[in-house]
Amino acid sequence: MQHSCFPVTPVTQSRLARVDFDNLGFGSIFCDHMFSMIYENGSWRNPEILPYQALALEPGVAMLHYGQTVFDGYKAFRGEDGQARIFRPGRNAQRLYDSCQRLCIPIMPAEELRDIMIQATRQLIELDHAWMPAQWGHSLYVRPLVIATEATLEVRAASSYRFIIMTSPVGGYFANLKKGVSLRVEDRFTRAASIGGLGAAKTAANYAASLLPGAQSRAQGFDQVLWLDSNEHRFVEEVGAMNILFKIAGKVVTPPLGGSILPGVVRDSALTLLDDWGIAVEQRPIAIDEVIAAFASGELEEVFGAGTAAVICPVASIGYRDEVFTVANTPPGELTLRLYDELTGIQYGARADTHAWNVCLPLPEMQD
């Protein structure tokens, strides 16, 4: 079912002229419009598109105190054929639904949420099409967000919520994507509890937990954190805000989704492509000792992260307990590059979308 168009209150003055498309960075510029919907008295209502604006929130709202909030992220790409392609928004809608379940947010049924998200994204792109970057590697990042808006200091699920979808023209997430990022293995702090925690939900708490170790990594000269499990500090979980994959002796190994790892859409896409190509993938626990042993034996061929922001991100080195191990094949490795090229090719419409991942819509011609 397609949702009919949502009512629009357009901006009176666009901010587009102030955007420097040569220096987009990641996620600090927001398009003119946003989608909004509210939950009150037991139902979701008032879906509409409004000028991007500040939210009026009382200091007592539950989200600010107890973190009852979830978000997601997906991208839309401007193809050379004049079409916008939204990459797998249905998957992200399902994940947002799952995150809401975990955070006790009374979201609408999954199918309805998916239809609303896709329709809202289409309308936002149509309205703000001129904000969609044309340069390869740049895209329109779509950020849905659900927050608890009831003012209460009681620790319980709130009775009112706001659902926003905002869009942001973005460049690459990492400046040094070509040469690969350096990781520091974090064997003290964890991003999420390995059993029964919030790790599989895209919620603020996991990102808050990552800030101190992230800052410590950067202070020690590393780009990102390699997360281990919270029980034994032994098994690899994620890298920074991405899923992680290793190529060891010709096989791809990645940790399984078991509740502590975010079910990444790019992870799933990469695994699908590897399967298409007949490349063996093992989804199994991988101990940091096994990674270090593979470095030592020269069998660790490639390491890369997979996430929406960076797509596929090569890893150049891993620091563990005062030693830095360098990945054998100078990044990006052959498979890393193949996956990056295929995924970005599909996203920009340069390669066949054999799995029908893209939701396409025509764009008006760009004005000079």
Q: Which of 172, 213, 214, 307 binds ligand COI (CB under 6 A)?
A: 307
Q: Interface with ligand COI includes 309 (CB under 6 A)? A: yes
**Least Å distance between CB 315 and ligand COI?**
15
3-state helix, strand, coil in the chain (%, to 5): 25, 30, 45
Query: What is the DSSP-derived secondary structure letter of residue 130?
Result: G
Task: Based on the shown chain and the rule CB under 6 A, indicate whether residue 123 belongs to the binding site for ligand COI.
Answer: no
Q: Compute the least distance from the CB of residue 24 to ligand COI, in Å.
A: 14
Please name every residue paired with 69 in a beta bridge, in sequence order, or none if there are none: 147
Only segment of 10-18, 183-191, 304-312, 348-356 that touches ligand COI (CB under 6 A): 304-312
* 128 Cβ contact list (under 8 Å, min separation 6): 31, 32, 33, 167
User: What would the x/- binding string for ligand COI be over residues 69 to 88, using CB under 6 A?
Assistant: ----x---------------
Of the two residues 241 and 248, which places its CB atom closer to ligand COI in the complex?
Answer: 241
241 near ligand COI (CB under 6 A): yes
Nearer to ligand COI (CB atom), residue 182 or residue 210: 210
**Per-residue three-class SS string for 249-315:** CCEEEECCCCCCCCCCHHHHHHHHHHHHCCCCEEECCCEHHHHHHHHHHCCEEEEEEEECCCEEEEE
Nearest approach, Cβ of residue 241 and ligand COI (Å)? 4
Q: Quick check: 308 binds ligand COI (CB under 6 A)?
A: yes
Which residues are CB-neighbours of 271 under 8 A, at least 6 positions away?
254, 281, 283
Minimum CB distance to ligand COI smaller for 225 or for 242: 242
Name the one range near ligand COI by CB under 6 A: 116-124, 148-156, 272-280, 302-310.
Answer: 302-310
- The alpha carbon of residue 5 and the mean position of all alpha carbons in its chain are separated, in whole angstroms, by 26
By Cβ distance, which residue is nearest to ligand COI?
307
> Quick check: helix, strand or coil at residue 135?
coil
CA angle 23, 26, 27 (to 5 degrees): 115
Q: What residue ranges bind ligand COI (CB under 6 A)?
A: 73, 241-242, 307-309
